[in-house]
Amino acid sequence: MSPPAVNMSVHSITQTSATLHSVFLSDNDPDPQSVLNVVVIDMHGHVVLDKTQKPQSNVFAEIKLNGLRPYHKYSVNAKITCSSGPHECKAAERSLRQLSFSTMQDKPGPVLSPSVSALNPYSVQLKWLPPALPNGILTHYVISVVHEDNLADSRSVIVGTSTNRSDHFLETVIDGLSGGERYNFVVRAVTEAGLGESYSVPADFIKMPIMAPPRTAAVPKVDTNSITSYSLTLKYSPIMFDAKHGKIVRSALLVAEVTEDGRVSETWMNAANDTYTWMQVQRFDVWPLYTAAVDEPKSRATPPLNQAVGVDQSCEDLPLDAVCNGPLKSATNYKFKLRLFTAPNLFSDTDFSEVVATEAASRGLTQKIAAALALSIVVVLGVLGLLFIPHWSRSKKARDVYSNSKESQWAALKMIMAERAADCLAKLGLDGSVHNPDLSNQPSHVQPNFGHHRRCRSLRERTGVDHRLERLPSGPIHKTPLYTVITGVNTNKSRPVEILDFADHVRMMAVDSGFRFSEEYEILRNVGCGQTYNAAELPSNKSKNRFTNILPYDHSRVKLVQITDEEGADYVNANYIPGFSSRREFIAAQGPLPTTRDAFWQMAWEQGCTAIIALTKCVEKGRDKCHQYWPESEHSTVVYGDIEVTLLNESSFDEFTIRELRLRRVHNQAQSWILQQFHYMAWPDFGVPEHPQGIIRFAMMFRSRIPHSAHNKPTVVHCSAGVGRSGTFIAIDRLLQTLQIERPIDIFGIVHEMRLERCHMVQNEQQYIFIHHCILHAIETMSPKRSLFHSKVDELHENPVFKDDDTIGESDF
């Protein structure tokens, strides 16, 4: 006989169990001695059950399968074998039809390898791997955002499953956080069965970083009904006190007089957080920017939304460096702005208010003011006369070093008078040389520091009166270049010097604490001013500018291809800059903001750029200089707009890093190319590099990989504002190429040319001097006639004009 027919089925299936039920198909003479063998195998080929049983009372007992895994597929193989009885089987065994079943879904296990990193004060990036035990089809993830100090602000974020592969990281960005606050993030996977096990990232709360407050379109508004001859009231909008980057811990009201041509006086310190006080601006004809009032909103639940200006009548009884809300001048135009702090060294300014004029004063008050001014002028002129003659004889030898002409003597005389005027003002109690106390300890944190080395400040900054000396009615204005400048050129635009004369040229420029450098840089200061930048001032583009006074000229700005019809869609803060090989060899750009990094990459793609020169760290001294616009780690990819950027390789050196990045379109990956980023990170937070060797080596490394060619696509150069360090590097690159072909060196001409294309290129006098220092070093180390330069260069290295001053430099730019 053959083995009897048996039917097997599976029922009562749960997440972790199932039941096997076996019965004879026929009740006719079942063989009670038959043996049923059941083998259960999981989806990975592992045997989870191998059991043999005999029927009892012609029925097989149910087999309970326990310990199964949720959402797993199992196969059941069974066979029945004849008993060893008096009957002989025609077939020894009969195989049953294979059964398959799947357990039900369950809640998933915890995610793996979660991590969190802050992108900025209001955003974090979370990464994790899917659970090792998904226990079902993962439908999405739930991230619980827990705010430690404000549980009511806690929320949940749902993230889709872009991949369920166990070896692929998932990532998401959580926005809407607040700088300086502490958060915890809990990531849980979800199936149809519900939420999985939680995993906290990190185990404790993470504190968000802080940055300078975000700049808004709101500006202080003047209550027109409050205007008097000496005071007025301002109104603030609550959006000015946005805590997105961190709580506003302090605010300062800044006041500036407006000149007849509608400008704010530039006679003020350009270093971060440096302004005058009301007492200190009394010595100026036109009051420069000064701090009128300081407030600490953190001490109240809501910030003050009204501020009276000019109401303090006791300022003259206070120290010079004390913040005081003194009276305004009558019949005078003013602008106002608010400086907001999230930390002592982290602040941002609103835009200036509209111009507001105070009312005219009464006649009696006007006469008193005029009498006081006349008396002050008499005293100053008297002291100048007493001090002039002794200094003239002591200074004669120094003046004869660089010129014997009457013009040179006149210029030296003006310089002496200017500096003596500053000394006299100091002796009269009008000097601003005060210590700049720490913001956390003193209320006068926004006061200027006048301790800068004299050579590193402009004539106007060093004396405060040079514009008056220029109005002297007799005597020539000193404009004659040194004899080392090649004759026959327009010295208002170009001042080339032969290589063999360059050491002598710089030595003479450096005498008298670098007076010639100061004079030459003053000529360059206003080059390019007056050109239009209408696109930058469109309402839709204002927020795209990192600094309100660094705006691209219309005639040379880089225009993006407009994808939409929105106003300003073609705008990016960048200009074409001439180089050694072509008129558009470089693009000088500001460091990208979080909101402009997509436009930055769009520009690089559309211009076909193969190199980017980065001259700033992303954060310096706690201030955001440049938003990171490249992937964090090797072989990772980030999409910016519709440009996919992959970091292929990163090579680190002592002072710089070189990254190889692959660029391609998201929707058309057939076209791609490699872009190299040269990232110089040794430029100090203030000043210039201690020695020119590093930046020269960096420039030569760049040129070894991107040789000069008129057919090259533009190279993007950026720092923070894209003018100071960027202009310095471009000038050095051009001059190094000039040296190689032994052409005359024209630093003045190169800076002049760059400033016609983008404002403030080579931002300060110290950077201008540093370019000379770099070329001297290059001549010394590169020239085949090196011996001709040794004595001259060594002498120059001892000149104090070349000693670094770490208090001046590219503080914001």
Q: Which residues are catalytic?
A: 719
- Residue 385: other Cβ atoms inside 10 A: 10
CA–CA separation, 156 vs 187, rounded Å?
10
Cis previous bond, 473, omega within 30? no
Structure tokens at 99: 């059964």
Give the residues across from 160 on adjacent strands.
140
Question: Half-sphere exposure of 390 toward its Cβ, with a 13 Å CA cutoff?
Answer: 5
Residues 6+ apart with CB under 8 A from 318: 279, 324
Residue spans of beta strands (DSSP E) within 258-395? 290-295, 306-309, 333-343, 346-349, 356-357
3-state helix vs strand vs coil in the chain, percent to 5: 25, 25, 50
User: Which H, E and C letters describe 459-510, residue by residue?
Assistant: HHHHHCCHHHHCCCCCCCCCCCCCCCECCCCCCCCCCCECHHHHHHHHHHHH
For residue 341, the one-letter residue type is: F
Residue spans of beta strands (DSSP E) within 67-193? 73-81, 93-95, 99-102, 112-120, 123-129, 140-147, 155-160, 170-174, 182-191
- Token look-up 């226990």 returns 135
Residues, the chain: 813
- Residue 440: other Cβ atoms inside 10 A: 11
Question: Phi/psi of residue 299, each to 5°?
Answer: -80, -5
For residue 502, the one-letter residue type is: F
- Residue 367: other Cβ atoms inside 10 A: 11
For residue 33, the one-letter residue type is: Q
**CB 231, CB 308: distance < 8 Å:** yes
**CB 465, CB 457: distance < 8 Å:** no
**CB 318, CB 324: distance < 8 Å:** yes
Which burial class, exposed, middle or buried, applies to 225 when counting CB atoms under 10 A from its CB (0-12, 13-18, 19+)?
Answer: exposed
- H helices present in 403-443, as ranges: 406-427
The vertex-235 CA angle with 234 and 237, nearest 5°, equals 145
Supply the DSSP string of 348-384, one letter for each residue. EEPPP---EEPPPPPHHHHHHHHHHHHHHHHHHHHHH
Residue spans of beta strands (DSSP E) within 681-805? 715-718
CA distances from 281 to 42, 89, 304, 312 (A): 86, 118, 26, 15
User: Smallest Cα–Cα separation from 74: which of 10, 167, 119?
Assistant: 10
Structure tokens at 620: 């310096």
CA–CA separation, 400 vs 409, rounded Å?
8
> From edge to edge, which strands make up the β-sheet containing 63-65?
6-11, 18-24, 63-65
For residue 65, the one-letter residue type is: L
CA–CA separation, 679 vs 626, rounded Å?
12
User: Smallest Cα–Cα separation from 20: which of 47, 49, 45?
Assistant: 49
Give the residues across from 47 on adjacent strands.
41
